[in-house]
Amino acid sequence: MSPPIQMYMGDMAKKEPVTDSILLNENIIDVAMRNRYLRDEIFCQVMKQLTENPNKLSEERGWHVMWMLLTCTFPQSELLDELEMFLRTNPNVFAKRCLEKLHMTKRDGCRYTPPHQMEYDALANRHPAVEYQVLFPDQSKQKIEVDSSTRMCDVHSKIVKKLQLKNSEEYGLFFGLKDK
C-alpha cells in the first residue's frame, strides 16, 4: 500500500501518467473504504509517512491523503485511539483539522463514494469548502457553501432556513456537476 501513497506525496515517481485524484481514489481511498483490514494498514502507512518527514511538500500532500481518508472513512477501534493521539499531539496545523474531520466522520458515518475532483481542487487551493449555486423554480439563485462532510440533508436544511420555509417536506433537491 505504500507505493501509491509515496507516489501521491511525490516521494516516488509515478509508473504511468495518472492524475493525482485518480491515483488517490483508485489506489488508496477506494481500497480503504472497501477493505477494513487494508484500511488500517493505509492509515498506518500515512502516519508513518507524516512522522518526521523532512520534505515540506511531501508532508503537505501526506496531510491531503489523511484529510481525504478521514473524509470517507476511519480505522477500526484498535487503531482509532492511536490515530486520535497522533492527530492530537502532532504540531502541524492540518492535524487539528484532520482530528475534527475524524470526529465528524465518526458522528455522521462513512461515505459511499470517493471524493470528486472538485474536492481535490478545493484542497489543493487550501480552501476545503466550495460554493454551489442553487437554482429555484422561479429562476432565482442562492449560493450555498459545502465541504466534504456536507450531506444533501444539510444543504436542504440550509435552503429551508435561508428561505424561511414553514414546510420543508414539499421540496426536494437535485444535484448535478459539470465536468471541467
Q: What is the pLDDT of residues 60-107, one digit of tens each?
A: 999 999 999 999 999 998 899 999 999 999 999 999 999 999 999 999
- Domain coordinates in residue numbering, the chain: 2-124, 130-170
Q: HEC string of the chain?
A: CHHHHHHHHCCCCCCCCCCHHHHHHHHHHHHHHHCHHHHHHHHHHHHHHHCCCCCHHHHHHHHHHHHHHHHHCCCCHHHHHHHHHHHHHCCCHHHHHHHHHHHHHHHHCCCCCCCCHHHHHHHHCCCCCEEEEEECCCCCEEEEEECCCCCHHHHHHHHHHHHCCCCHHHCCCCCCCCCC
Cα angle 107-26-69, degrees, rounded to a multiple of 5: 25
Can you read off the three cell numbers belonging to residue 112?
459511499
Region class of 164: left (phi > 0), else alpha (psi between -120 and 50), else beta: left
Per DSSP, what are the bridge partners of residue 74? none
Res 120: pLDDT: 77
Fold of 2-124: 1.25.40
Q: What is the pLDDT of residues 131-165, one digit of tens each?
A: 777 777 778 887 877 776 777 777 778 888 877 87
Q: Are the C-beta atoms of 99 and 87 separated by less than 8 Å?
A: yes
Give the model's confidence band at 128: pLDDT under 50 very low, under 70 low, under 90 confident, else very high.
low
Q: What is the pLDDT of residues 24-50, one digit of tens each?
A: 889 999 999 999 889 999 999 999 999
Cα–Cα distance, 3 to 126 (Å, whole number): 25
Q: Are the C-beta atoms of 123 and 67 separated by less than 8 Å?
A: yes
